[in-house]
Structures are given as structure tokens and as C-alpha cells.
């Protein structure tokens, strides 16, 4: 990520006004049934929430990104959202005209694509090696870096908010002695990057959805400046394929990876899920990342580093 | 203010949907569900406000009379009584510090076995869920789609705190 350019105006490296064409929505919690611009301002009334915090849910990439940020970060949100829509337009495998699709068909060279694509491909190669090939940007032989793009974009969005917090006019954080923390979280479809604290003196608490009991939590993790990613079949079925066999992975119900960076944690979770039972030994060898898994029969296991993240229910 | 009302209405609708989905997987009972709400002390004139504005034009915009139960434990919000294939149902949600802390059924279904399934199984689950969610900031889980998000606990958290 050293070559990343957080804070860059959305779409400047992409084709035309892709972000605008993708339909950037306004800052508000919009009704999920009603895509389209929201009508309310970020400073709207909140119930019981510590003063100075804002939540926003954005429909993008076929899912929803949830933001929990200090109000001081609100001015930076529109740019972050625009950038996410630009990523969607550029990296979409559903749109035949995206850079990724055209590159996959050989219509564009890598040099002709947005430079972010080369960055993503390079990171995919590293993760492929670290995961013994279980994480790949070529599932089924077809170019599809989607397995990294979401986590990568969550991380970039979080970095953009962090930069804005340090350089923005209101970057000094909430005034006074209120309980609001200055940290933020970006949750993309269940994978998230958290920074700092949501309230002063309190770490983030993230519930891990139980893959076998839709309304229950399997475990709660807590921390500051950390990422949580979960892969599983609960939402979209057996959609993760073991690249070494070509068959859908079914040996685990879900895998959760906790560590510093969401792009890495997300890819590790995908790889571990594809490995199945063999993931346990591999997971223990990971440097800086801890893993928790639930088997289809409900049995769970975790790596030795995971206890540092578990929080009392 | 309108956003708050919508959020609460959406939450109530979501809870009712959750009941329907959990107990009757093939049911379409949730399709026509509407739930309006008014909050104690927080949204005078909420009913009229809920019907105006562009983003209010959702399926959950039906207004109802506010019901107050806001003692020291939080603010209670009551949804409309809705008709389901198993009889009318009405729930009340108690919010404290922006989180759902309790779900109370004001009007139970009256359809025998199905009613018992809902009341005896789903509702305790729901209250257990809300007790847990009262302490978390976010939820990690298998990647959901836009449609899946609507039913997700993360969605409820976003709405409750928005």
C-alpha cells in the first residue's frame, strides 16, 4: 500500500466520470429498499448516540458499506464514497466495460488500465504465495481480483478518513470532554477496519455472526486499530471454491481473521475457508493475524493469538 | 427528525420481518408489512413528518399513534399492529442509548401451533439477540449482498444509531 494515494479526488485516474455515472448517493442512512440520493444531512438527530458521531450506510459494489465515524470526519465522507463508486465501476466483473473486464479479455494492457489495478494484482500475487495458492485472482482460470478488491477498498477508505482526520480543519477531534471517540470503522459487507476508539477509553466491540444460528453471535472481538474479516456460506451459499480442486469449499461454516489490515485479513479468511480443515495449521503460522473458525457441526477452533482479541459477552 | 422516525419504523419493520422469516421460511407475511412509530419525547409531530419528504416514501411509512413507555430504562417505540397469516401482531421496542434493549409483544398471533412457535422460540431469540447487540458496535460475518444487508444485524445497528 506504500504506493497508494489516499485523498486523491475520485475518478481522476479512471475513465471519465465513472463515479458520477455509478450514482453516488448522499450522506444519510438511506432506505435499503430505495436506492437513490438521500435527503438528510450528516448532522441529523441521533438517539442516545454519543454526541459527535455519525453513521452512514452506502450501497455500492452490490453490497452495503457501513461507516461509523466522528462527526469531524463528515466533510471527508463524500470523497470517500465517490472513490468507492469509482472502484466499483473500474473493478467490476459484472460490467463488460470496466477496466478489469477489458483487461481480462486482453483488450487493455495493464499499463492502459487505472494504476490501482496493478497495485491490486501485485498484492494478490503476494497473498497467493502466502496462502499456498488458496487465494487467487484467477479463480477458475478467469481473471477476477474481486476477492481482494473489497478488502483493499475498505482499507483505502479507512486510510482516507484517517488522513482527513489529521489534516482537516476539524481534525482536532471533538471539542470538550464528551465521550465520543475519534476513531472510525468502515464495514464492507461484514469485513471491517476499525481505528482508534468509538468512545473515549473503550475499544471497538465487533460481534461475529454465528454461521449456524442467524440471529446469534459466535464470539465478540474487541480492539483498537484492527481489522476483522469473516468468510462463510451463511449469506451466499458455497461460493468459495478451492482453487486446487475446483470444488466448492464446505469443510468449514465460517472463518474469522483478526489483525492489523483488512485487505490481508479478508484474503486470509477466504484462503482459510477454501483450505477447510487444513486451515488450522496454516492459520497458526500467520504472523500478526489470529483466526477463529466454526465447523458445520458447530465445533469451533481458534489460533493461539485469538484470545488477545476476545471480549466478554 | 424525520430520519429518526424512519429509522425506528424501519427497525420495527425489520424485527417483524425477522419474526416472519425465522418461523415461516416460505411465508410472504412480511411483504406487506408496514410499521409506523412515534418516539417519546423525541419526536413531537412525528406522524405527520413521516409522511413527507422524498426519503420518507418507503414501504414503512405508515404513521401510527405514539405510545410512550419511556421510564428510566429507555424510550419505547410501538409499531402498528400488522396482519399476518397467523393473526395480528404488534411489537414494542425499547431503545436505550440508541440501542434496542428489549422487544415486547403487545399483541400475539393467535394461530395455535404457529403462534406458539413464534412466541416460544423466535421472541426469546430476538430478545437474546438484542441483549447482545446492545453491547457491540458492528457485526462481522459472511459477505452479504445489498438484499442480505436489509436483514442483517449490522443494518439494525446502523438504523438504531443513525
pLDDT in tens, A138-176: 887 888 998 899 999 999 999 999 998 887 655 444 444
More confident position, A122 or A44? A122
- Asked if the structure places residue A9 within a domain, the reply is no
Per-residue pLDDT reduced to its tens digit, B18-53: 433 333 323 333 322 233 333 333 333 333 333 333
Where is B153: in which H helix or E strand?
A: helix B153-161
- What is the C-alpha R_g of chain A? 19
Triad A237, A238, A239: Cα angle to 5°: 95
Lowest-confidence pick of A201-210, A278-287, B114-123, B152-161: B114-123
Across the interface, whether the CB atoms of B142 and A228 are under 8 A apart is answered no
Which residues in chain B are contacts of A214 at CB distance < 8 A?
A: 22
Number of domains forming the structure of chain B: 1
Which pLDDT belongs to residue A233? Answer: 85
Does a structural domain hold residue A19? no
Cell of B92: 414494542
Which of B143, B149, B162 is opposite residue A236, by nearest beta carbon? B143
> How far is the first Cα of chain B from the last one, in angstroms, to the nearest whole number?
11
Which parts of chain A fold into alpha helices (H)?
Answer: 18-21, 77-91, 99-104, 115-130, 146-167, 262-275, 279-284
ipTM over 0.85: no
Distance, in Å, from the CA atom of B132 to the CA atom of B135, rounded to the nearest integer, reads 6
**A33 found inside a domain:** no
Q: How many CB atoms lie within 10 A of CB A100?
A: 26
Q: Is residue A46 part of a domain?
A: no
Give the residue numbers spanning the domain of B133. 2-161
Structural domain that includes position A203: 51-308
B contact residues 18-77, partner A, Cβ 8 Å cutoff: 18, 22, 39, 42, 53-55, 57-60, 75
Q: Which residues of B touch A230 (CB under 8 A)?
A: 140-142
Total domains in chain A come to 1
Chain A positions touching B158 (Cβ under 8 A) are 29, 55, 57, 66
Asked whether A289 and A256 are in contact (CB, 8 A), the reply is: no
Q: Flag if A47 and B1 touch (Cβ within 8 Å).
A: no
Query: Who has greater pLDDT, A243 or B126?
Result: A243
Which chain B residues contact residue A39 at CB under 8 A?
53-55
Residue A249 lies in a domain: yes
Residue A43 is assigned to a structural domain of this protein: no
- CB contact under 8 Å between B142 and A234, yes or no, is yes
- Of A29, A198, A207, which has the smallest distance from its Cβ to B159's Cβ? A29
pTM, entire model: 0.66
A176: alpha, beta or left? (left if phi > 0; alpha if psi -120 to 50): left
Q: Domain holding A198: CATH number?
A: 3.10.520.10
Q: Across the interface, do B138 and A29 touch by the CB < 8 Å criterion?
A: no
What is d(CA A58, CA A36) in angstroms, rounded to the nearest whole number?
10
Amino acid at each position: 500500500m506504500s504506493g497508494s494515494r489516499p485523498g486523491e479526488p475520485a475518478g481522476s485516474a479512471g475513465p471519465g466520470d465513472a463515479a458520477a455515472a455509478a450514482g453516488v448517493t448522499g450522506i444519510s442512512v438511506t432506505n435499503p429498499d430505495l436506492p437513490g440520493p438521500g435527503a438528510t444531512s450528516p448532522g441529523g438527530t441521533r438517539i442516545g448516540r454519543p454526541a459527535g458521531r455519525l453513521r452512514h450506510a452506502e450501497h455500492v459494489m452490490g453490497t452495503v458499506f457501513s461507516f461509523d465515524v466522528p462527526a469531524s470526519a463528515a466533510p471527508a465522507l463524500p470523497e470517500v464514497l465517490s472513490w468507492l463508486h469509482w472502484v466499483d465501476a473500474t473493478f467490476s466483473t459484472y460490467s463488460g466495460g470496466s477496466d478489469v473486464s477489458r483487461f481480462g479479455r486482453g483488450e487493455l494492457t495493464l499499463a492502459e488500465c487505472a494504476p490501482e489495478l496493478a497495485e491490486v494484482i501485485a498484492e494478490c500475487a503476494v497473498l497467493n504465495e502466502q496462502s499456498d495458492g488458496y487465494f487467487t485472482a484467477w479463480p477458475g482460470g478467469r481473471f477476477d481480483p474481486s476477492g481482494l478488491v473489497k478488502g483493499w477498498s475498505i482499507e483505502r477508505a479507512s486510510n482516507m478518513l484517517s488522513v482527513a482526520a489529521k489534516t482537516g480543519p476539524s481534525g482536532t477531534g471533538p471539542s470538550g470532554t464528551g465521550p465520543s471517540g475519534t476513531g472510525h470503522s468502515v464495514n464492507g459487507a461484514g469485513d471491517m477496519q476499525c481505528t482508534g476508539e468509538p468512545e473515549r477509553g473503550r475499544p471497538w466491540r465487533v460481534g461475529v455472526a454465528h454461521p449456524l444460528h442467524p440471529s446469534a453471535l459466535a464470539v465478540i472481538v474487541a480492539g483498537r486499530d484492527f481489522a476483522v474479516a469473516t468468510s462463510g456460506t451463511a449469506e451466499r451459499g458455497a461460493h468459495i471454491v478451492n482453487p486446487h480442486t475446483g470444488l466448492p469449499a464446505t469443510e468449514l461454516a465460517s472463518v474469522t481473521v483478526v489483525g492489523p489490515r483488512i485487505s490481508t485479513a479478508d484474503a486470509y479468511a477466504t484462503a482459510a475457508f477454501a483450505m477447510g480443515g487444513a486451515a488450522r495449521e496454516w492459520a497458526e503460522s500467520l504472523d500478526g493475524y489470529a483466526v477463529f473458525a466454526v465447523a458445520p457441526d458447530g465445533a469451533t477452533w481458534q489460533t493461539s493469538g485469538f484470545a488477545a482479541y476476545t471480549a466478554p459477552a | 427528525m424525520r430520519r429518526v422516525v424512519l429509522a425506528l419504523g424501519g427497525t420495527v419493520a425489520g424485527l417483524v420481518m425477522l419474526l416472519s422469516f425465522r418461523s415461516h421460511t416460505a411465508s410472504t407475511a412480511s411483504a406487506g408489512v408496514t410499521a409506523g412509530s412515534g418516539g417519546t419525547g423525541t419526536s413531537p409531530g412525528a406522524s405527520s413528518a413521516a409522511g413527507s419528504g422524498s426519503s420518507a416514501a418507503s414501504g414503512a411509512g405508515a404513521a401510527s399513534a405514539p405510545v410512550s413507555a419511556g421510564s428510566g430504562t429507555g424510550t419505547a417505540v410501538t409499531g402498528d399492529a400488522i396482519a399476518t397469516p397467523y393473526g395480528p401482531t404488534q411489537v414494542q421496542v425499547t431503545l436505550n442509548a440508541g440501542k434496542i434493549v428489549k422487544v415486547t409483544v403487545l399483541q400475539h398471533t393467535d394461530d395455535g401451533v404457529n403462534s406458539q412457535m413464534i412466541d416460544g422460540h423466535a421472541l426469546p431469540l430476538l430478545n437474546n439477540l438484542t441483549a447482545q447487540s446492545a453491547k457491540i458496535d458492528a457485526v462481522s460475518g459472511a459477505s452479504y449482498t445489498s438484499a442480505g444487508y436489509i436483514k442483517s444485524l449490522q443494518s439494525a445497528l446502523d438504523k438504531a444509531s443513525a
